[in-house]
C-alpha cells in the first residue's frame, strides 16, 4: 500500500527504528525493494529521484514505483530525492509521490530557508511531506568516490531552519558522504544527538554506505528515522549482471531474476538492521574500496 504522511517516520522514531529509503533506477530495483519489504513485513521507501530519471525518464519510473507501492502488502512510500528544482517537485507531487526532498544545502542559509519554505507550502497543501537538507554532504549519490566529509550541520541553525521552513524531516550532515569511499567515514553521534534534541522531529541519514550495522543502530538510537540506501543495491545489481555475463549468459529474464534476487537480499538485510535488531557497538565502519 502507498504510505502517505510523515507518520511513516514518526512511528519509526517512536519505536526506536528507522525506515530505509532505497534508490531505484530500474524496474528490477523497484521489484527488489518491494519484495524485501514484503518478505520482512517492514515498511520501506522507494526513492525515485532526480538522478534516477536520467536513464528511463520521470513518468515511466514514477509510474512503476507508484504501482508497485500500491500493490504491496506493506506500507511503502515513494520519494523524490535530492531535487533542487521546485518545478520538478511540483510535477512529481502531481504524479502521486508521497514525499519529496528539496535540497537547498548548497545555497546560503537564507536562500535555503526561502526555497524550502516555498516547497513546504506547496507540498503540504497537497498532503505530501517534505525533507530538507542543511549542511555540506559531499560525494556522489550515483557513484563511489574518494570524498571526505564536508561542513557539518550546526544544531542551533538546524532548529532555526526547521522552525522557519516547517519542513517535516531534516537531512543533517554528521560526518558521512555519498557513496562508497576508500576512506572510512564515521557518524558524529554527539552532534547527531544535539541536532535531534534541538529539532525534535525526524532526522535523515544520507551517505550511510560502508557503515557497520552497529554504527547504524547507534545513529538510529541518536535520532535517525530514515536512512538512504543506494550504493549497496547498485553494487549488488551490477555484480549480479557481471557474474551472469561472465558465465556466458545472454538470457535477459534470467539475468534480471538474479539481479532482483541479489538486490532483495541486500534490502532485506538493511530493513532488518534498521528495524532494531542490530545493537549499537563501537565497531568502526567497513572500509570499502571502489
According to DSSP, the β-strands at 203-205 and 76-83 are unpaired
Question: What is the fold of 7-276?
Answer: TIM Barrel (3.20.20)
pLDDT band (50, 70, 90) for residue 149? very low
Buried b (16+ CB within 10 A) or exposed e, 218-227: bbbbbbbbbb
pLDDT digits (tens, 9 = 90+) for 222-273: 999 999 999 899 999 999 999 989 887 788 999 999 999 999 999 999 999 9
Backbone angles phi, psi at 202, to 5 degrees: -65, 140
pLDDT of residue 87: 97
- The per-residue pLDDT for 286 is 37
- How far apart, in whole angstroms, are the C-alpha atoms of residue 156 and residue 53? 35
The percent of residues in the chain predicted with pLDDT above 90, rounded, is: 75
pLDDT at 188 > cutoff 60: yes
Catalytic residue among 81, 103, 154, 188: 81
CA 119 to CA 123: how far, in whole Å? 6
The whole-model pTM stands at: 0.88
Please give the residue that has the higher pLDDT: either 51 or 27: 27
Q: What residue segments make up the domains of the chain, in order of their start?
A: 7-276
pLDDT in the model for residue 55: 86
Selection from 177, 170, 230 nearest residue 21 by Cα: 230
Active site residue 81: yes
Output the nine-digit C-alpha cell for 220: 538510529
Q: How far is CA 84 from CA 39, 81, 119, 214, in A?
A: 34, 9, 10, 33
Confidence of residue 140 (pLDDT cuts 50, 70, 90): very low
Structure confidence at residue 79 (pLDDT): 98
How does the average pLDDT of the chain come out, rounded?
A: 88
Res 92 pLDDT > 70 = yes
Q: Between these two residues, 107 and 138, which has the higher pLDDT value?
A: 107
Percent of the chain exceeding pLDDT 70 equals 88
Amino acid at each position: 500500500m502507498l504510505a502517505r504522511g510523515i507518520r511513516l517516520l514518526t512511528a519509526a522514531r517512536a519505536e526506536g527504528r528507522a525506515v530505509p529509503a532505497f534508490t531505484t533506477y530500474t524496474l528490477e530495483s523497484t521489484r527488489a525493494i518491494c519484495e524485501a519489504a514484503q518478505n520482512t513485513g517492514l515498511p520501506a521507501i522507494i526513492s525515485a529521484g532526480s538522478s534516477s530519471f536520467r536513464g528511463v525518464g520521470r513518468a515511466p519510473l514514477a509510474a512503476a514505483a507508484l504501482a508497485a507501492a500500491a500493490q504491496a502488502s506493506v506500507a511503502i512510500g515513494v520519494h523524490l530525492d535530492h531535487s533542487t528544482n521546485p518545478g520538478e517537485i511540483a510535477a512529481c507531487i502531481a504524479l502521486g509521490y508521497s514525499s519529496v526532498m528539496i535540497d537547498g544545502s548548497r545555497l546560503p542559509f537564507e536562500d535555503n530557508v526561502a526555497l524550502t519554505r516555498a516547497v513546504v507550502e506547496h507540498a503540504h497543501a497537497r498532503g505530501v511531506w517534505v525533507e530538507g537538507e542543511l549542511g555540506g554532504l559531499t560525494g556522489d549519490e550515483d557513484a563511489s568516490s574518494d570524498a571526505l566529509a564536508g561542513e557539518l550541520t550546526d544544531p542551533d541553525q538546524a532548529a532555526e531552519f526547521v522552525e522557519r521552513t516547517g519542513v517535516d524531516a531534516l537531512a543533517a550532515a554528521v560526518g558521512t558522504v555519498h557513496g562508497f569511499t576508500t576512506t572510512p567515514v564515521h557518524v558524529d553521534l554527539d552532534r547527531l544527538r544535539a541536532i535531534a534534541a534541538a529539532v525534535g522531529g525526524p532526522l535523515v541519514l544520507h551517505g550511510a554506505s560502508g557503515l557497520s550495522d552497529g554504527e547504524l543502530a547507534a545513529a538510529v538510537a541518536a535520532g535517525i528515522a530514515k536512512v538512504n540506501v543506494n550504493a549497496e543495491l547498485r553494487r549488488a545489481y551490477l555484480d549480479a549482471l557481471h557474474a551472469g555475463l561472465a558465465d556466458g549468459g545472454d538470457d535477459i529474464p534470467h539475468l534480471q531474476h538474479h539481479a532482483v534476487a541479489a538486490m532483495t537480499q541486500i534490502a532485506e538485510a538493511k530493513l532488518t538492521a534498521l528495524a532494531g535488531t542490530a545493537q549499537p557497538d563501537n565497531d568502526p565502519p567497513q572500509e570499502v574500496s571502489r
